[in-house]
Structure 1
Amino acid sequence: MKIKLPALLFASLILIGLNASSQAKLTTKESIEKLQKDVPDLMQKADIPGMSVALIRNGKLVWTGSFGVTNADTHKPVNQQTVFEAASLSKCVFAYGVLKLVDEGKLDLDVPLTKYLGNNYGVPDERINLITARHVLTHSSGFPNWRENDHSKILQIHFNPGEKWSYSGEGIVYLSKVVEKITGMSLEDFMQQTVLKPLDMSSSSYSWLARFDSLKAYRHDDLGNLTGRSEKINGGLDAINEDGNAAASLTTNAADYAKFIIAVLNGNGLKKSTRDKMLTPGIRVTKKHPELAWGLGVGLETMPDGTWFWHWGDNGDAKAFYMASVSGKDAVVYFADGSNGLSIAREILADAVGGYHPSLDNLGYERFNSSSRQLLKSIIADGAAKSLDTYRNKREKDTTQRIGEQDMNGVGYSLIRLKKLDDALAVFKQNTDDFPASWNVWDSYAEALMDKGDKDSAIKYYQKSLELNPQNDNGKKMLAELKGEKK
């Protein structure tokens, strides 16, 4: 279904647009100079080892940049041939391929997918027979993002198809199985033949290629430490099998991915009516940001300066993002080999395309210069006692410096990963002081005490957590184990 944005919204968006004048678009030369200067600085502040960035102006690729290293241990530099994890940016390119099937008359956006597949996809819920390609591409299928625990679990449908927006990688995988049935090809073969080769995306693949051994960037955590990479291995969450995953397994780089964005901006490869449907709001994403909607496979911002299409990618310790102006035909896309890759998105967009982008507010990723990251950096340098004392004094003077429960917990777990257990304990204790009614902070504090070897205190605070939340299954499990060890 199409949605209409109320008149009041447009008035408010005009005000937002005026307030965002400080983020006006720079000239192409200015943008390139800013990106070349700012990206390395942002990477250093955000602990991002390597990035690949591309700038599009007026529907043409005008600049690409390669920054940093592919591996923090080997210090191998990123270059124009380096490839990265596209993560969920995989979905957009797949959607483009699906729409080419629509143009060919091989797939109807509004015909239930079970009619093409010939079975119920192992889903006993009768609502599986209502889910269409349009539902999947607008993330309104009713599926969860991913099924619980592992792929052997029965896939659940949580609401009637088309009822609301709820992001779902499982929906995209389901549609890819339908595409394989319709075409008689594997996902990789279909995407190569239908999209990647026609767009000359020669560095891109949904499955593992031998050349990726030497070309693919590794993942890094929030402090820039090496954590591995996705590749063709025997099993495990990081495995890329021969068929690939339409929702998450595309390997590419900024220059190659820009070719897809340029095709959409210039209306290449799809009928005009189909491309227009792709970029037309189909379902509202959130009441808080009514200017945000989803088209066919892409996020949409309906703003005073026109419509923007966008997507983010998050494979944990690998991140990606793009934003593209439909009317201006300007865009930026980047890939980062670090967990904090989305923490600098605002700065990248300000340099590259300007404007106010509520999609970033809705995503809510921690900023590279957030209070919690500053505290973590301070603790690493000076220890928890001094840093927490400074933090408490600072927040008394400026309440905006106060760190939320979840972010403070994140600081604690980062310190555990660094084997700074005493510092982590101090952070978790601070969180219990700040949020004593939260069962989760007591659970985390108990976990750190257990790691420290203080079983009696760990038992005490797991019990505290369970008093606040009797449904805390992790607390029940750990408490049983600790009591068993005491005997």
Structure 2
Amino acid sequence: MKIKLSVLIMVLVVLSGYSQKTIKAVDGTSVKVKNVDKRIEFLMDSMNIPGLSIAVINDNAIVYHKVFGVQNLETKQELTKQNIFEGASLSKPIFAFFAMKMVEQGILDLDKPLNDYLPHPAIDSASREWYKSITPRMVLSHSTGFPNHANNQIIKLAHEPGNGFSYSGEAYQYLTAIIGIKNGVQWKDKFNAIFESNVTAPLNMNNTSFLWNDYIASNKVYGHKNGKPTDNGLGGWSGKTFNSFSSIHSEAGEYALFIQAMLKREGLASTSFDEMLSTQNEFNSDNELYQETGQTGWGLGFAQKKSENGLMHLHTGNNHDFQSYTMFLPEQEYGIVLFTNSGDMLPLVQGLDKVLGEQF
């Protein structure tokens, strides 16, 4: 029986992916996969991390995607690649990608004041003049002066917009409301459908969503605090509101498709990628993040940090019982994504330095 050459090539490619024995560290050196596996298992065991979904990108391609551990420390049910995690603030970079889609479609202008689209109803009188200058660019680079969360209180700006750093999910949600209104929807299921048609569907992120659905309900893992599962068996958050700052649900293999698109510069115009990856908000030396982590600024959606291997573009996610992380280096065509059902992920990320080089 004859086998078509194209089918044979496809089979060989698939088999080579499963039999890959090495991957590249951030500096391009080869690392044995078994050594990466052993390091992850050691770190998870020593740090009591229940479960991990991880993906590594080399040469702009996903070359490593594995899961370790369990969905629930009490039941000991093993993780699978179908399991879904809360991405927390990994919501923000992919929402920024979506916002740039809206810019390209003429729905949004990066430098048009938000007040011109939709006046905010809860700005302190002393901040109103400053507030009128806030733009989408400032929202996506965290320079609005908004608090992280207003908690239904009147908003007083921490600094002049565009002249400082103020990490703000509140500002992200304000921009979400504007995009929703411009598209003739609010910020629930219809908004999520627009996001999916523009971002997750083209990137084949079929099970990634900002809103609860049947797939998430069947496959979501349990978060953990202090070594115990949280959420009383309900799978945690099951909201119906598109929270652009926090409600993404995904896993490492799917989210890595987004990071791969960032590296390959696919899905947006070249000028949009230039905007996202350029420094939009450079930190002063007295910035808290600069002093604590060495982060040097923010692009549109991603934090930035200088390293020996080029400029890192990165973001963390923290819902306390779920934590996540992503980082990529365009110069090295390298990226990494981690999702955990634990509130203690950062030491694990830093512990990977021993096998993969500087990750954070």
Shorter-normalised TM-score: what interval? 0.7 to 0.9
Structure 1 residues 349 and 111: alpha-carbon distance in aligned structure 2, compared to 1, 3 A threshold: farther
Aligned partners of 1:156, 1:192: CA distance in 2, in Å?
34
Structure 1 residues 82 and 239: alpha-carbon distance in aligned structure 2, compared to 1, 3 A threshold: closer
Match among 283, 286, 292 for residue 285 of structure 1: 283
Does residue 266 of the first structure (1) align with residue 264 of the second (2)? Answer: yes
Shift of 1:239: 4.2
Q: Identify the residue that residue 60 of structure 1 maps to in structure 2.
A: 61
Which structure has more relative contact order (CA 8 Å, sep 6+)? It is: 2
Q: Identify the residue that residue 340 of structure 1 maps to in structure 2.
A: 344
Match among 253, 256, 277 for residue 254 of structure 2: 256
SS of corresponding position for 1:242:
coil
Shift of 1:82: 0.5
Does residue 221 of the first structure (1) align with residue 219 of the second (2)? Answer: no
Larger Rg: 1
Aligned partners of 1:182, 1:136: CA distance in 2, in Å?
17
- Equivalent residue letter for 1:48: I
Does residue 93 of the first structure (1) align with residue 125 of the second (2)? Answer: no
Aligned partners of 1:213, 1:346: CA distance in 2, in Å?
31
SS of corresponding position for 1:211:
helix
Structure 1 residues 245 and 166: alpha-carbon distance in aligned structure 2, compared to 1, 3 A threshold: same
Shift of 1:156: 3.0
Contact 1:218–1:229, Cα closer than 8 Å, also in 2: no
Q: Identify the residue that residue 75 of structure 1 maps to in structure 2.
A: 76
Match among 209, 212, 229 for residue 213 of structure 2: 209
SS of corresponding position for 2:352:
helix
Shift of 1:131: 0.9
Structure 1 residues 283 and 158: alpha-carbon distance in aligned structure 2, compared to 1, 3 A threshold: same
Structure 1 residues 170 and 291: alpha-carbon distance in aligned structure 2, compared to 1, 3 A threshold: closer
Q: Identify the residue that residue 247 of structure 1 maps to in structure 2.
A: 245
- Equivalent residue letter for 1:197: A
Q: Identify the residue that residue 168 of structure 1 maps to in structure 2.
A: 168
- Equivalent residue letter for 1:243: T
Aligned partners of 1:270, 1:230: CA distance in 2, in Å?
40
Match among 139, 143, 151 for residue 142 of structure 2: 139
Q: Note the aligned Cα RMSD (angstroms).
A: 2.1
Contact 1:292–1:300, Cα closer than 8 Å, also in 2: yes
1:5-61: CA deviation from partner (whole Å, max 9, x where unpaired): xxxxxxxxxxxxxxxxxx873645x25333211111111111110010001001001
Between the aligned residues of both structures, percent identity stands at 31
SS of corresponding position for 2:57:
strand
Contact 1:253–1:335, Cα closer than 8 Å, also in 2: yes
Aligned partners of 1:330, 1:229: CA distance in 2, in Å?
38
Equivalences for residues 123-134 of structure 1 within 5 A: 123-124=123-124, 125-126=127-128, 127-134=130-137
**What residue ranges of structure 1 are gaps of 5+ in the alignment?**
1-22, 233-237, 361-487
Match among 317, 323, 326 for residue 313 of structure 1: 317
Q: Identify the residue that residue 41 of structure 1 maps to in structure 2.
A: 42
Aligned partners of 2:295, 2:310: CA distance in 1, in Å?
11
Shift of 1:120: 2.3
The number of equivalent residue pairs is 323
Shift of 1:341: 1.3
Contact 1:55–1:64, Cα closer than 8 Å, also in 2: yes
Aligned partners of 2:283, 2:195: CA distance in 1, in Å?
28
Structure 1 residues 349 and 198: alpha-carbon distance in aligned structure 2, compared to 1, 3 A threshold: farther
Contact 1:120–1:129, Cα closer than 8 Å, also in 2: no
SS of corresponding position for 1:311:
strand
Structure 1 residues 91 and 229: alpha-carbon distance in aligned structure 2, compared to 1, 3 A threshold: farther
Q: Identify the residue that residue 182 of structure 2 maps to in structure 1.
A: 182
Aligned partners of 2:60, 2:323: CA distance in 1, in Å?
24
1:278-320: CA deviation from partner (whole Å, max 9, x where unpaired): 1011112351647611001101123343222110111111111
**What residue ranges of structure 2 are gaps of 5+ in the alignment?**
1-24
SS of corresponding position for 1:327:
helix
- Equivalent residue letter for 2:131: I
Shift of 1:241: 2.5
What TM-score, normalized to structure 2? 0.84
Contact 1:265–1:329, Cα closer than 8 Å, also in 2: yes
Q: Identify the residue that residue 105 of structure 1 maps to in structure 2.
A: 106
Aligned partners of 1:230, 1:244: CA distance in 2, in Å?
23
Does residue 297 of the first structure (1) align with residue 298 of the second (2)? Answer: no
- Equivalent residue letter for 1:62: V
SS of corresponding position for 1:97:
helix
- Equivalent residue letter for 1:270: L
Q: Identify the residue that residue 25 of structure 1 maps to in structure 2.
A: 27
Aligned partners of 2:238, 2:177: CA distance in 1, in Å?
16
Aligned partners of 2:147, 2:54: CA distance in 1, in Å?
31
Contact 1:208–1:231, Cα closer than 8 Å, also in 2: no
Contact 1:332–1:349, Cα closer than 8 Å, also in 2: no
